[in-house]
Structure 1
């Protein structure tokens, strides 16, 4: 079997290409390959389609193997150019999935190009933008204002994954996610920061293996007290003890991706709201 290190993967769309790449990534993760990735968004007319074909076919010649081409193109003129001239393995995601759905539902799809032109006018879109702004304003305990408007408040020691998880919750799920660091002063007082006490039901604790935390902190501040394994063990132990005493849900981020962490938190929130 030939090596896949030289194989190129193209994500072609007449919109942003986010759908094509996200879907393709889910499929490619099933295989132990690390191909070269090329994004080709906004391929929305025949001329751009021919340019994309030239790039794909050049990659086929250079790589010595045909590229994988994932596309969510809905413009039929563009799609026909790709189908007729592309020397890669073309995977038409909309054609594969939309056509059977049209048949099953007994109706035609909208065939909208993913430019979000109409989405920007929707309430859901504005809610998501508002959530992102809220999350950025409330990153790392920058402000205590309007915490009552938050959907969730992540707490934990520095570098335990609070900021990326908060941003993912806002970007993907439209949740207003604040995050607040637990610091030595909190451990000495043996209680949560006063600003968080009125919002205990919204708190979600993140923890991490001290060894992994030390490695992460060494990348930021090498050979510092902050990054020492001894200090990391102390902070993690005290933070977990503090959160348990307060009855706060705790999740370890050590072996979980940001996507997994955010999904678990979202499910937890949905169950909490469903129980009201």
Structure 2
């Protein structure tokens, strides 16, 4: 990182996840700039805000450009941060008054609503989904497989586990995942526990060279990571998806967020509807 690159601060009175997500979304629109990034969570007092403002001022004094993305809701704390020498992007305060006008209601300005325990039911749903995904990772368990809302299948190292965990943690989706192995391809059949639930299945694939590179990191100089083996597995996996009418996506150049969004859309697993259904069960 160069000494002249701009510095992005993601400021929050809670975990910082929202500020980081929204701020990163904005700065990625400037690919010509390389940002040094700092997430500063739990800015929940005026004293803490003054400390953070001083840190931002020190960056500006060093001749670098600080950009502060804030989701702090308390007006007094926001004012302290906004008075720093950084370029202040108020991700909440800019839009809350407009939303209050549109809804004819007053925001309660409670920190941490997006990622805290404000909605206990939603939190419990997400934690239960994480536990389910961990138990059903990589075909380890077939217990209560009928409760899965999604079953990911793919050759090894195509992204099943991170996608399962992301969908569970972010959206409360109960996901099981199963590897496709040589025996499945030789039989030209899905793993036996999955067959009764084919309608819940979604497949992942990759590019042979990319998959070989990923596998080399795990087990180098083996048949498992060879380009020939990866090519064979991916070709057979895609044939299996087509034969069983299973939708799939190539994960080689996609982030876990993009993969997950594609799955939610194509499998019609709307997060809002899912949460409402979870409360009614």
The answer, yes or no, to whether TM exceeds 0.5 is: yes
Q: Give the 5 Å matches for 1:1-276.
A: 6-32=5-31, 33-62=33-62, 64-84=63-83, 86-114=84-112, 118-119=117-118, 122-270=120-268
SS in 1 for 2:245: coil
User: Which stretch of the first structure deviates more once superposed, 74-83 or 86-95?
Assistant: 74-83
Q: What number of residue pairs does the alignment pair up? A: 268
Q: What TM-score comes out, normalization by structure 1 length?
A: 0.92
Distance 1:153 1:271 in 2: 12
Cα deviations across residues 250-273 of structure 1 (Å, max 9, x unaligned)?
A: 22112222111111111122279x
Is contact 2:117–2:123 with CA below 8 Å preserved after alignment? no
Cα 1:96–1:130 change in 2 (3 A) is same
Shift of 1:163: 0.9
Cα deviations across residues 63-84 of structure 1 (Å, max 9, x unaligned)?
A: x133000111112221122223
CA RMSD of aligned residues (A): 1.9
Is contact 1:68–1:88 with CA below 8 Å preserved after alignment? yes
Shift of 1:4: 8.7
List runs of 5+ in structure 2 lacking aligned partners: 274-281
Shift of 1:149: 0.5
Cα deviations across residues 71-114 of structure 1 (Å, max 9, x unaligned)?
A: 11112221122223x11001111111111111222221121101
Distance 2:78 2:236 in 1: 58
List runs of 5+ in structure 1 lacking aligned partners: none
Shift of 1:118: 4.3
